[in-house]
Amino acid sequence: MYTTRNRPRIGLYGLLLAALGLACLAWPDAAVAQEQAAAAYQRAYELVLDEEWSRASDALKDFLQEYRRSDWEDDAQFWQCYVREKSGASDESAFECYQDFVNDNDESKWVDDARANMVTLAQRLARSGKREYMTIIESMQAEGDEEVKLAALDALWQMGDERALDAVLDLYDNSASEQFRKKIIFALSQFGSPRAAEKLKDIALQDPNPTIRSEAIFWISQHGGSEVISLLEEIANQENSEEVQKKIIFAYSQLGREAVPQLIRIARTHPDTDIQKDAIFWLSQMGGPEVMDFFRELIGETNDEEVQKGLVFAFSQLGDDGAPALIDIARTHQNPEIQKDAIFWLSQIGGSEVMDFFSELINQIDDEEVQEGIVFAISQLGREGAPRLIEIARTHRNPEIRKDAVFWLSQIGGPAVIDFFGELIDESDDEKVQKGLVFAFSQLGSEGVPHLIRIAKTHENPKIKKDAIFWLGQTNDPRASQALIEIVRGQE
Does 18 score more than 60 pLDDT? no
Q: Residue 169 is which amino acid?
A: L
CA 193 to chain centre: 35
Q: How far apart are CA 420 and CA 406, in angstroms?
A: 10
Does 8 score more than 80 pLDDT? no
Please report whether residue 473 resides in a domain: no
Please report whether residue 83 resides in a domain: yes
Does 357 score more than 80 pLDDT? yes
Task: State the chain's mean pLDDT as an integer.
Answer: 85
Please report whether residue 469 resides in a domain: no
What pLDDT was estimated at residue 195? 87
**Residue 177: strand, helix, or coil:** coil
Does 386 score more than 50 pLDDT? yes
Please report whether residue 215 resides in a domain: no
How many independent structural domains does the chain possess?
A: 1
Contact 119, 94 (CB under 8 A): no
Print the SS3 string covering 63-76.
Answer: HHHHCCCCCCHHHH
**Residue 304: strand, helix, or coil:** coil
Q: Residue 154 is which amino acid?
A: D
What pLDDT was estimated at residue 17? 38
pLDDT in tens, 482-492: 989 888 887 66
CATH of the domain at 103: 1.25.40.10
User: Where does the pLDDT of residue 30 fall: very low under 50, low under 70, confident under 90, or very high at 90 and above?
Assistant: low
Query: What is the 3-state composition of the chain as percent helix, strand, coil, each rounded to the nearest 5?
Result: 80, 0, 20
Ramachandran angles phi, psi of 168, nearest 5°: -65, -45
Please report whether residue 314 resides in a domain: no
Does 148 score more than 70 pLDDT? no
Q: How far is CA 437 from CA 401, 404, 473, in A?
A: 13, 10, 17
Does 34 score more than 60 pLDDT? yes
pLDDT in tens, 426-485: 888 888 889 989 998 998 888 899 999 999 999 999 999 999 999 999 988 899 899 898
Task: For residue 189, give every residue at least 6 positions away whose Cβ sits within 8 Å of its Cβ, in sequence order, or none.
Answer: 196, 200, 219, 220, 222, 223
Does 154 score more than 70 pLDDT? no
Neighbours of 427 (CB within 10 A): 9
Name the residue range of residue 143's domain: 46-161
What is the average per-residue pLDDT within 171-191?
82
pLDDT in tens, 254-303: 998 999 999 999 999 999 999 999 999 999 999 999 999 999 999 999 99
Lowest mean pLDDT among 169-173, 300-304, 380-384, 398-402: 169-173
Please report whether residue 264 resides in a domain: no
For residues 165 and 107, the model is more confident at 107
Does 25 score more than 50 pLDDT? no
Please report whether residue 255 resides in a domain: no
Q: How far apart are CA 343 and CA 365, in angstroms?
A: 13
- The conformation of residue 479, written as its DSSP 8-state character, comes to H
Q: How far apart are CA 358 and CA 133, in angstroms?
A: 73
What pLDDT was estimated at residue 145? 58
CA atoms within 13 A on the CB side of 89: 19
Please report whether residue 71 resides in a domain: yes
Does 2 score more than 80 pLDDT? no
